């Protein structure tokens, strides 16, 4: 579960298909600060500790600085007092890497995405006869997913440009076509000011790209019942009630899919009293599935959050892999658990892009059986 | 009783007045320059097609120069529509570069009827020193003279069309211009923009040039150059108190907050007192809600314009009112420390303002009420319907930003009149105009008002 304690929801601002919901922190977190490091436009290759490689377009990295004794930390860029110039390094080691003591560089969103891609990456652990030689030897490699950059999502750049940042704002929930595209939370308002423009360089799923083309978002205009008002104090009470109702509605309805999303949480790095972790959803179909990464303090309070909304096809792939892994990659057992037969499951795997995992003759037999 | 058609006409005219006061066809916070230009073009065509006489009469209002030039261009294209004297009067109030640009546009459009030529002729004849214009706006004067088929004889004609023919001029400024080609000392008697070219050509050091050209600088040039001249050790400071309010506000806002000292506050008071004139102190108890949200930054081409308008209005209202309170959305108390940041919680601030029990409430905002959206409109509606049905508090919303999509300035509520504003000095006249927007006075009243304005000019 994601805990939004300490973050207050403020009225949303809409532009085109985007609805932007600001999150304001009453008390900023001072001993952890974030800072962006801009990389060039070239694709990046990240060498992972398990000797595999992760290749993606990574426009920027975040640098987290923290202190051990709770005294205020300064963002990395502030310490240097330098503009964001960086020598383009193509090959990076690890997605989260300590730079010096008390400073960690990590690649936002890609940390979570790599977690998704590496899901059951090793392939079948038992050599059932249905799986191809390649699946046994190499697993799912190479495993690829596609996403759109924020600049390709229509209207997103304008929506972010005209958004009026609140004083004390530490986060933003971005809805496109009223479906949650991304959640972003940082520890300190100044970090937010610096990192707000990086949202347009982030990754967004196919679903978000399509929704941005079709669905304009409408404001929820305030409505005051004039029969309940007999003085200015009443009017003020009604105005305050509007804001409270919106916050309650948003947290319980609009963001509900996100808050309950994390199912498998994996701790990545420990930063003083904070923990950097990534999470995967349950891959349940017909509901929102978000992958993401968090930094939480010892009390579980959210300091940093970034999520990515999986598209339907991606959910389906995650779902199939998770179900297969549950049954040790036994096709019959999995099919039975899904309430279908082996041939249907085989074709589903094929449609999801995993046809290469099955032996060709087995797959052909499935196709014949279903014709 | 007004008919339905008359109501629509009244509305259209006010809509056009709002657009013509605010829009300059430039990029705004929420729309691009192209969108603004398209929207404005359409509106001009629509009004000119449907209400030709009112379209021409709009020149008498406090519309901005961009729209005045557009109207004149459209009027001259047609035969015999519009009052030639009104056009001449409006041209005389426009800045010369803009008039020369208009003449060049007329030339490009191929508009060259007798009336156009007469207007160009009269305008040029009315210039105080045409020789000076010929030096400073040489291409413009040349194009205008050619287009209007004017015969400019003697030295001026030679200067424009064959400057090398004469070895000396008798008109002093022309002679200075000739000498400046060869003599460094002569160029300091030329206008700054012309002298700058000569100085670069002759390789004169910037610091020396600025120091010696300083007496020739206009008020705006002084302001514009203040920073770069300071780097060269020259002080070109202008008399801030003599500036119009919004221009002064724009300048003040362009300075870092720490540099906006008492000198600015004093200049604002002087300028506001001049703008208020005899009306100073007559407005009773006034409360203003002023927008300093992020959107009041405007755009890179109209930098901080909405915020500057709000700041100008703040000081003017202070001068006009008996007792005055200005409420900024950011809850800042020091008007000189305002910055364009944050959201737009207009509704809450309007409640704050109404609690002070003013006689007059003025809201200066671009109308994008977003925290929460639509609350300001609801507050004003409930206030008018339930708490103040007699209209004891007069509320007016002044909007400095033209919304290209709605062909109008953005409104807060149908209960409250919204008028466009460009210069803070127009505020009293706009509050007059707002009574038409409220629907208290109908079309006949509006026509009479326009005729009166045209006669009063």
- Tens place of pLDDT for every residue, chain B, 457 residues? 467 888 788 888 888 999 999 999 999 999 999 999 999 999 999 999 999 888 988 888 889 999 999 999 999 998 877 788 899 999 999 999 999 999 999 999 999 999 999 999 999 999 999 999 999 999 999 999 999 999 988 899 999 999 888 888 999 999 999 999 999 999 999 999 999 999 999 999 998 999 999 888 988 888 888 888 888 887 777 788 888 999 999 999 998 999 888 889 999 999 999 999 888 888 899 999 999 999 999 999 999 999 999 999 999 999 999 999 999 999 999 999 999 999 999 999 999 999 999 999 999 999 999 888 999 999 999 999 988 888 889 899 999 999 999 999 999 988 888 999 999 888 888 887 777 766 656 677 777 877 777 777 6
Alpha carbon distance B117, B145 (integer Å): 9
B333 backbone dihedrals φ, ψ, rounded to 5°:
-105, -25
Q: What b/e sequence results for B163-189 when a residue is b if at least 16 CB atoms lie within 10 Å of its CB, and e otherwise?
A: eeeeeebebebbbbbbbbeeebebbbb
Predicted local confidence at residue A87, as pLDDT:
35
Contact B354 A232 (CB under 8 A): yes
Distance CA B47, CA B17 (A): 10
Judged by a CB distance cut-off of 8 A, whether residue B355 touches chain A is yes
A124 is a domain residue? no
Helix axes B206-213, B192-202, angle to 10 degrees: 150
Flag whether A307 is in a domain. Answer: yes
Answer yes or no: do A265 and A352 share one domain: no
| Probe site for chain B from A18, A161, A230, A235 (most B CB atoms < 10 A) | A235
Which residues, other chains included, contact A196 with Cβ-Cβ below 8 Å and sequence gap of 6+?
A: A160, A163, A165, A172
Q: Is residue A46 domain-resident?
A: no
Cβ pair A302, A4 in contact under 8 A:
yes
- Both A155 and A213 in one domain: the answer is yes
Considering CB atoms only, which of A11, A167, A231 is closest to B370?
Answer: A11
| Full strand arrangement of the beta sheet holding A91-93 | A53-56, A44-47, A91-93
3-state helix, strand, coil in chain B (%, to 5): 60, 10, 30
With beta carbons less than 8 A apart as the criterion, state whether B72 and B60 touch.
no
| Chain B residue with Cα closest to A226 | B382
Numbered residues of chain A with Cβ closer than 8 Å to any chain B Cβ: 10-14, 22, 162, 164-167, 219-224, 226, 229-232, 235-236, 238-239, 242-243, 246
Residue of chain B whose Cα is closest to the Cα of A245: B372
**Inside any domain, residue A2:** no
Residues 20-49, chain B, touching A (beta carbon < 8 A)? 29-30
Residue A286 domain-assigned?
A: yes
- pLDDT mean values, one per 10 residues, chain A (371 residues): 86 92 91 75 68 69 73 54 39 66 76 79 82 84 84 92 93 92 91 89 88 88 88 91 91 87 84 88 86 88 90 89 89 92 92 89 92 82
Domain count, chain A: 2
For residue A239, give the nearest of B355, B328, B296 by alpha carbon. B355
- Chain B segment 406-425 residues within 8 A of A by beta carbon are none
> CA separation (Å) from B358 to A105, B86, B283, B285, B291?
56, 39, 11, 5, 18
Q: Rounded CA gap, A366 and A350, in Å?
A: 10
Task: Write out B23-68 in H/E/C secondary structure.
Answer: CCCCCCCCCCHHHHHHHHHHHHHHHHHHCHHHHHHHHHCCCCHHHH
Token couple for B135: 């030096």
Q: How far is B351 from chain A (nearest CA, A)?
A: 7
With 0-12 / 13-18 / 19 or more C-beta atoms within 10 angstroms meaning exposed / middle / buried, residue B291 is: buried
Which of A12, A223, A236 lies nearest to residue B378, judging by beta carbons? A223
Instruction: Name which of B287, B306, B370, B393 to mutate to probe chain A: the one with the most chain A Cβ atoms within 10 A of its Cβ.
Output: B370
Which chain A residue shows the shortest CA-CA distance from B357? Answer: A232
Residues of B in contact with A12 (CB under 8 A): 373
Q: Distance, in angstroms, between B266 CA and closest chain A CA?
A: 31
Q: CA B29, CA A47: separation in Å to the nearest integer?
A: 44
Q: From the CA of A81, how many Å to the nearest CA of chain B?
A: 20
- pTM for the model: 0.88
Are residues A16 and A162 located together in one domain of the fold?
A: yes
Please indicate, yes or no, whether residues A257 and A334 belong to a single structural domain of this protein: no
Contact B373 A11 (CB under 8 A): yes
Q: Which of A239, A242, A249 to mutate to test the interface with B (most CBs of B within 10 A)?
A: A239
Q: Which helix (H) or strand (E) holds B285?
A: strand B285-290
pLDDT of residue B1: 46
CA B202 – CA B209 distance, rounded (Å): 11
Cβ separation B387–A229 shorter than 8 A: yes
Q: Do A222 and B29 touch (CB under 8 A)?
A: no
Question: Which residues on chain B are in Cβ contact (under 8 Å) with A249?
Answer: none
* Residues written for chain A: 371
Q: In angstroms, rounded to a whole number, what is the distance separating the alpha carbons of residues A269 and A267?
A: 6
Task: Give the residue from B29, B338, B371, B372 with the most A CB atoms within 10 Å of its CB, the best one to mutate.
Answer: B372
- pLDDT tens for residues A70-104? 666 665 544 333 434 433 334 566 667 776 677 77
List the single residue in B with minimal CA-CA distance to A159: B30
B65 touches chain A (CB under 8 A): no
Contact A222 B355 (CB under 8 A): no
Does residue A99 lie in a domain region? Answer: no
Strands A103-106 and B418-420, by their bridges, are unpaired
Rounded to the nearest 10 degrees, what angle do helices B65-77 and B96-109 cross at?
Answer: 30
Q: Do B379 and A235 touch (CB under 8 A)?
A: yes
| Chain B nearest C-alpha distance from A228 (Å) | 10
Q: Does B297 touch chain A (CB under 8 A)?
A: no
- DSSP lists the bridge partners of residue B290 as B328, B364
CB contact under 8 A, B372 and A222: yes
- Residue B373 forms contact with A (CB below 8 Å): yes
A285 in a structural domain: yes
Contact state of B371 with A10 under an 8 Å Cβ cutoff: yes
d(CA A308, CA B177): 67
**Residue in this structure with the two tokens 């790599």, named with its chain if needed:** A114
B384, closest residue in chain A (CA to CA): A226
Residues A261 and A345 placed together within one structural domain of the fold: no
Q: Could you give the strand order of the β-sheet that contains B394-399, starting from the edge strand earlier in sequence?
A: B323-328, B285-290, B360-364, B394-399, B418-420
Same domain, A159 and A186: yes
Which pLDDT value is given to residue A41? 60
Count of residues in chain B:
457
Question: Do the beta carbons of residue B286 and residue B317 sit within 8 Å?
Answer: yes
Q: Tell me: do A302 and A339 sit in the same domain.
A: no
Q: Of B342, B375, B382, which has the smallest distance from its Cβ to A226's Cβ?
A: B382
Q: Are residues A304 and A208 in the same domain?
A: yes
Dist CA A3 CA A23 (whole Å): 13
Residue of B nearest to A225 (CA): B382
Please answer yes or no on whether B354 and A162 come within 8 Å at the CB atom: no
Best A232, A234, A237, A246 member to test B by mutation, with max B CBs in 10 Å, is A232
Task: Residue A19: give the domain boundaries.
Answer: 7-29+109-119+145-312
Q: Which two tokens stand for residue B1?
A: 């009783």
Nearest to A221 among B295, B348, B374 (CB): B374
- Are residue A335 and residue A306 in the same domain, yes or no? no
Instruction: Report long-range pairs for B168-176 (Cβ below 8 Å, ≥24 apart).
Output: B171/B131, B173/B129, B173/B131, B173/B132, B173/B135, B174/B131, B174/B134, B174/B135
Q: What are A179's strand-pairing partners?
A: A176
Is there a single domain that holds both residue A231 and residue A354? no
State the nearest Cα–Cα gap between B182 and chain A, in angstroms. 47
Task: Indicate yes or no: CB of A13 within 8 angstroms of CB of B370.
Answer: yes
B332 in contact with A, Cβ within 8 Å: no
A213, part of any domain: yes
- Check CB contact under 8 Å for A162 and B295: yes
Q: Which residue has the tokens 């990464």?
A: A293
**Type and span of the H or E element at A30:** none
Same domain, A254 and A349: no
Q: Distance from B364 to chain A by nearest Cα, in Å?
A: 18
Q: Specify whether A266 is located in the same domain as A336.
A: no
Question: Domains in chain B, please, with CATH?
Answer: 181-238 (no CATH), 244-441 (3.40.50)
């Amino acid at each position: 579960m994601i805990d939004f304690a300490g973050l207050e929801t403020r009225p949303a601002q809409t532009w085109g298909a985007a609805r932007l919901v600001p999150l304001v922190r009453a008390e900023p977190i001072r001993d952890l600060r974030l800072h962006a490091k801009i990389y060039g436009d070239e694709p990046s290759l990240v060498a992972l500790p398990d000797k595999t490689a992760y290749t993606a377009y990574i426009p920027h990295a975040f640098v987290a600085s923290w202190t051990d004794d709770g005294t205020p930390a300064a963002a990395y860029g502030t310490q240097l007092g330098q503009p964001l110039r960086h020598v383009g390094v193509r090959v990076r080691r690890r997605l989260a890497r300590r730079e010096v003591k008390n400073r960690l560089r990590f690649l936002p969103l890609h940390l979570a995405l790599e977690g998704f891609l590496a899901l059951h990456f090793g392939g079948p652990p038992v050599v059932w006869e249905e799986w191809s030689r390649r699946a046994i030897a190499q697993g799912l490699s190479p495993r690829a997913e596609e996403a759109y950059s924020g600049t390709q999502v229509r209207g997103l750049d304008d929506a972010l440009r005209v958004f009026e940042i609140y004083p004390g704002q530490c986060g933003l929930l971005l809805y496109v076509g009223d479906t949650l595209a991304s959640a972003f939370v940082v520890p300190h308002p100044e970090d937010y000011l610096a990192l707000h423009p990086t949202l347009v360089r982030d990754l967004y799923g196919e679903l978000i790209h399509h929704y941005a083309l079709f669905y304009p978002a409408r404001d929820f205009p305030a409505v005051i019942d004039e029969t309940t008002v007999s003085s200015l104090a009443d009017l003020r009470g009604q105005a305050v009630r509007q804001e409270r109702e919106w916050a309650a509605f948003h947290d319980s309805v609009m963001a509900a899919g996100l808050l309950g999303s994390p199912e498998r949480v994996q701790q990545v790095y420990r930063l003083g009293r904070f923990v950097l972790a990534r999470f995967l959803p349950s891959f349940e179909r017909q509901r929102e599935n978000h992958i993401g990464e968090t930094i939480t303090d010892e009390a579980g309070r959210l300091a940093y959050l970034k999520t990515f909304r999986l598209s339907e096809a991606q959910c389906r792939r995650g779902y199939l892999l998770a179900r297969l892994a549950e049954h040790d990659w036994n096709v019959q057992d999995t099919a039975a658990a899904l309430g279908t037969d082996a041939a249907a499951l085989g074709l589903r795997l094929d449609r999801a892009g995993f046809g290469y995992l099955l032996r060709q003759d087995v797959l052909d037999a499935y196709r014949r059986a279903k014709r | 009783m007004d008919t339905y058609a008359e109501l629509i006409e009244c509305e259209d005219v006010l809509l056009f007045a709002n657009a013509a006061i605010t829009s300059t066809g430039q990029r705004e916070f929420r729309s691009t320059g192209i969108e603004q230009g398209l929207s404005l073009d359409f509106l001009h065509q629509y009004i000119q097609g449907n209400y030709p006489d009112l379209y021409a009469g709009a020149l008498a209002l406090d519309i901005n120069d961009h729209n005045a030039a557009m109207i004149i261009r459209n009027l001259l294209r047609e035969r015999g529509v519009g009052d030639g004297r009104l056009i001449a009067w409006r041209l005389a109030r426009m800045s010369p570069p803009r008039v020369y640009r208009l003449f060049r546009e007329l030339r490009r459009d191929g508009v060259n009827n007798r009336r156009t030529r007469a207007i160009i002729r009269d305008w040029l004849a009315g210039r105080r020193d045409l020789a000076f214009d010929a030096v400073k706006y040489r291409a413009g004067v040349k194009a205008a003279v050619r287009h209007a088929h004017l015969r400019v004889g003697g030295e001026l004609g030679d200067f424009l069309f064959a400057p090398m023919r004469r070895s000396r001029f008798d008109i002093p400024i022309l002679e200075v211009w000739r000498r400046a080609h060869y003599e460094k000392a002569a160029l300091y008697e030329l206008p700054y923009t012309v002298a700058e070219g000569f100085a670069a050509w002759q390789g004169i050091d910037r610091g020396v040039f600025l120091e010696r050209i300083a007496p020739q600088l206009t008020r705006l040039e002084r302001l514009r150059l203040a920073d770069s001249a300071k780097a060269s050790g020259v002080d070109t400071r202008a008399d801030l108190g003599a500036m119009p309010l919004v221009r002064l506000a724009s300048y003040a806002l362009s300075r870092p907050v720490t540099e906006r000292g008492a000198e600015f506050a004093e200049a604002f008071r002087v300028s506001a007192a001049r703008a208020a004139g005899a009306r100073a102190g007559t407005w009773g108890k006034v409360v203003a809600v002023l927008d300093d949200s992020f959107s009041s930054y405007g755009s890179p081409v109209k930098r901080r314009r909405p915020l500057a308008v709000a700041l100008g209005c703040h000081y003017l209202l202070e001068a006009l009112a008996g007792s005055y309170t200005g409420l900024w959305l950011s809850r800042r108390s020091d008007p000189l420390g305002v910055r364009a940041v944050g959201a737009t919680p207009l509704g809450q601030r309007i409640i704050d303002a109404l609690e002070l029990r003013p006689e007059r409430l003025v809201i200066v905002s671009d109308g994008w009420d977003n925290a929460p959206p639509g609350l300001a409109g609801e507050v004003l509606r409930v206030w008018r319907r339930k708490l103040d049905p007699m209209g004891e508090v007069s509320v007016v919303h002044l909007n400095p930003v033209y919304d290209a999509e709605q062909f109008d300035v953005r409104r807060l509520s149908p209960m409250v009149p919204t008028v466009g504003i460009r210069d803070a000095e127009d505020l009293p006249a706009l509050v007059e105009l707002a009574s038409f927007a409220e629907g208290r006075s109908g079309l006949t009243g509006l026509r009479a008002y326009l005729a009166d304005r045209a006669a009063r000019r």
